[in-house]
Amino acid sequence: MFPRGREVILGVGGGISAYKSADLIRRLQDHGFLVTVIPTRSSQNFVGNATWAALSGRPVYDDLWSDVHSVPHIRLASSADVLIIAPTTADLLARIAQGRADDLLTNVLLATKAPVLLVPAMHPEMWLNTATQANVATLRSRGIYVLDPDVGRMTGDDVGVGRYPESSKIICALDEILESKADLVGIQVLVTAGGTQEAIDPVRFIGNHSSGKQGYAVAYAAAARGAEVILIAANSHEPTIEGVTTIHVKSADQMHEAVLTHFPSTHILVMSAAVADAKPLQESDKKLEKSTYQSIELTPTVDILKTVGALKGSQILIGFAAQTGADGVAKAKEKYGKKNLDFIYVNDVTDGAIFGSSHTTGAILDGQGVIEEVAGVSKMTLAHKLLDLASHKLGLPND
Ligand code: CTP
């Protein structure tokens, strides 16, 4: 269900500036990208696989003839949202321009449909050589992005054009290629997802139909925009999101505790979980007999959002309201005020619509009233709209 946009394959060519790709990995991760490294054999003269594995947190792929049964070049090629080769040596430029496929990296490059960004770095004479310039022109004519190297000091005493650019310059180019935003770098986003379960006895509980899809979409979108994301998930079966810290809880009390722990350092709280409004007054530690099961005495759960609404400083609070009647907007306005929110999304859940679906219909409100109505948009689209509003209200630059 998630949109693409986060998987980067980083090819590393055999140049002295290969070590600079260590910083590039970190900066890519700061921007919400997940990085898999494919070093060339000659690059291993400069930096070893252990560095790439430790920094990327993933296996390093350097051999066309390993794991042949899993056809790694095709698997890697199709997993990539973008392929960067940094540094790209003069030899790699030549091999790519010729369409060679004599190692894993060039195989992946030929097989991928993802955009390719090359970051050449070499001595000025090699960069300005007619052969290299002809290769660059050929590659650009084929739609491959080739960054111009920086001007400055080289490995020896010479100065000129050919330096490996700053990581920020490479990431700017990447953002332009992917049209991605990184406006939430340095921002902590706390998201709740799923539905709490309030135990009656060891077997039964009071719960609801929330799937967690909306909260997971917010967590994914925020991470893709560079935020540090903590996701508090209640009883959801959504797949784990790499790069997001997920805390699993069951009940409203557990969710309350987790939210309170992380709220002080949070900039944006998106409370998309469906918290049960009531729990059994007493949880039985033994399975209840049918005969004793005529009625269950209930007590309200703590209103998590209201509690943090009362504590909040400059944080942005986004609440959700699930309504089934025509007065949904009026009820959401009431909640907005009562819980000291910045935004609330009200969706119509009549007949179980929305729960478990990847799409949603409803309205986003602030204190003035309806900001935007959405109809049948993906939960990911709604996630980005909510994050846009929060980012704007925090006064963050619109990247
Ligand atoms: N919420 C919460 N703690 C609760 C109940 C709800 O933090 N104990 C949050 C939900 O995560 C959601 C919003 O408050 O963001 C929903 O408010 P709520 O008053 O529960 O509204 P609904 O459940 O939609 O409707 P109702 O008033 O009918 O209960």
Give the residue carrying structure tokens 């309205």.
Answer: 363
Q: With b meaning 16 or more CB within 10 Å and e meaning fewer, what string describes 78-91?
A: eebbbbbbbbbbbb
**398 Cα: distance to centroid of ligand 1 (angstroms):** 31
Q: Map out the domains of the chain with their CATH numbers.
A: 7-178 (3.40.50.1950), 188-393 (3.40.50.10300)
Q: Which atom of ligand 1 is nearest to the CA of 322?
A: 24
Distance in Å, CA 274 to ligand 1 centroid: 7
Ligand 1 pocket, mutate which of 275, 333, 338, 342 (most atoms under 8 A from CB): 275
Q: Please choose from 209, 255, 277 the residue to mutate so as to test ligand 1's pocket, defined by most ligand atoms within 8 A of CB.
A: 277
What the block records as the tokens of 320 is: 């959700």
How far away, in angstroms, is 251 Cα from ligand 1 center?
Answer: 14
- Which one from 107, 135, 208, 235 is the annotated catalytic residue? 208
Taking the CA of residue 321 as reference, the ligand 1 atom at the shortest distance is 24
Dihedral sign, Cα of residue 286, residue 287, residue 290, residue 292: positive
53 Cα to the center of ligand 1, angstroms: 43
Find how far residue 48's CA is from the centre of its chain: 28
Closest residue to atom 18 of ligand 1, CA basis: 321
Q: Are strands 150-153 and 159-163 parallel, antiparallel or unpaired?
A: antiparallel
Please identify, by atom number, the ligand 1 atom nearest to the C-alpha of residue 307: 7
Residue recorded with tokens 């070893």: 48
Residue pLDDT tens, the chain, 399 long: 344 568 999 999 999 999 999 999 999 988 888 999 999 999 999 999 999 999 999 999 999 998 888 888 999 999 999 999 999 999 999 999 999 999 999 999 999 999 999 999 999 999 999 999 999 999 998 999 999 999 988 777 788 899 999 999 999 898 888 877 788 989 999 999 999 999 999 999 999 999 999 999 999 999 988 899 999 999 999 989 888 999 999 999 999 999 999 999 999 999 999 999 999 999 999 998 887 778 889 999 999 999 999 999 999 999 999 877 777 888 888 899 999 999 999 987 776 656 778 889 999 999 999 999 999 898 999 999 999 999 999 999 876
CA distances to 32, 113, 196, 242 from 224, in Å: 5, 21, 26, 11
Active site residue 208: yes
Ligand 1, atom 6: closest residue by C-alpha? 275
**CA-closest residue to ligand 1 atom 29:** 277
Q: Quote the pTM value.
A: 0.80
The Cα 246–Cα 31 span in angstroms is 19
Q: What separation in Å is there between the alpha carbon of 321 and the centre of ligand 1?
A: 6
Give ligand 1 pocket residues (Cβ under 6 A). 252, 271, 273, 275, 277, 301, 303-305, 319-322, 335
Q: What are phi and psi of 60, to 5 degrees?
A: -105, 135
